[in-house]
Amino acid sequence: MKCQKVISLFTEYYDDELSQKIRTAVKDHLDQCEECKAKHKEFNKSIKLLKKLKPLE
Amino acid sequence: MAYRKIHTFLYKAKFRTWLSKIALNLFRQKHRQKRKHESLILEEIMIPGEDGNPERKIIKSELQWCIIHNLQHHLPEKYRVVLVLRDLQSFSYKEISETLGWSISKTKTMLHRGRQLFRNTLLNAKCKALTDDYCCTCEGVQDL
């Protein structure tokens, strides 16, 4: 799987919306590609920051 | 408003989705009226849990300001809405698509673009919470 494809799947990977086969392919790529791994880490961090905001009840 | 419109609920969608559509329409209506101030999200979102530690409180409020500012001022509404529904309200892709009248495919695309844009705006703003070289171990930063 190429870098551009992997990056396009970050959202579905984060939300666990990928099939097992594609998920494994993305994970394998992230284990080998330092650039995508760094981008993935930033992507996840930004979502976690966003999730820390809570709407008022 | 929901009470007045309850007769329009046709059981074709989940009650939560129907209610969210009303909330979304009210949000848009209110947002149009308040466009000059653009303070709606700032007023409606908060980070819970303060322990009274002044340093932690300042760090938290700076990060909170940065996140909200980027969400509010650097994301077009179409992305902001989908991020709020998914990442703040924990809507499923299906619920988002029903609420916004989008296909599942469009929902995925818009959510991904919105998240990418949000990440980029935080990076452009040099948000310390995203940078690897930020070595502060302050409890407030770790928790946030």
Going residue by residue through chain A, which has 57 residues, state the pLDDT in tens, using 9 for 90 and above: 899 999 999 999 999 999 999 999 999 999 999 999 999 998 998 888 888 775 544
Q: Tell me A54's DSSP state.
A: E
Residue A8: φ, ψ to 5°: -70, -15
Interatomic CA distance for residues A49 and B108, integer angstroms? 20
| Chain B interface mutation, best of A6, A18, A46, highest count of B Cβ atoms under 10 Å | A46
Q: Look at B88 and A47 and tell me if their CB atoms are within 8 Å.
A: no
pLDDT for A18 equals: 94
Check CB contact of B23 with chain A, cutoff 8 Å: no
Check CB contact of B71 with chain A, cutoff 8 Å: yes
- pLDDT, tens only, B85-138: 898 888 899 999 988 889 999 999 999 999 999 988 888 877 666 665 444 444
Of A15, A42, A53, Cβ closest to residue B119: A42
The identity of residue A5, as a single letter, is: K
Q: Look at A49 and B67 and tell me if their CB atoms are within 8 Å.
A: yes
Token pair recorded at residue B110: 């818009």
Which residues 12-51 of A have a C-beta within 8 angstroms of B? 12, 15, 17, 38, 41-43, 45-47, 49-51
Q: Look at A43 and B115 and tell me if their CB atoms are within 8 Å.
A: yes
Would the CA dihedral through B49, B53, B56, B58 be positive or negative? Answer: positive
pTM: 0.69
Lowest mean pLDDT among B26-35, B82-91, B132-141: B132-141
Tell me which chain B residues have a C-beta less than 8 angstroms from the C-beta of A11. 108, 111-112, 115
Interatomic CA distance for residues A26 and A38, integer angstroms? 14
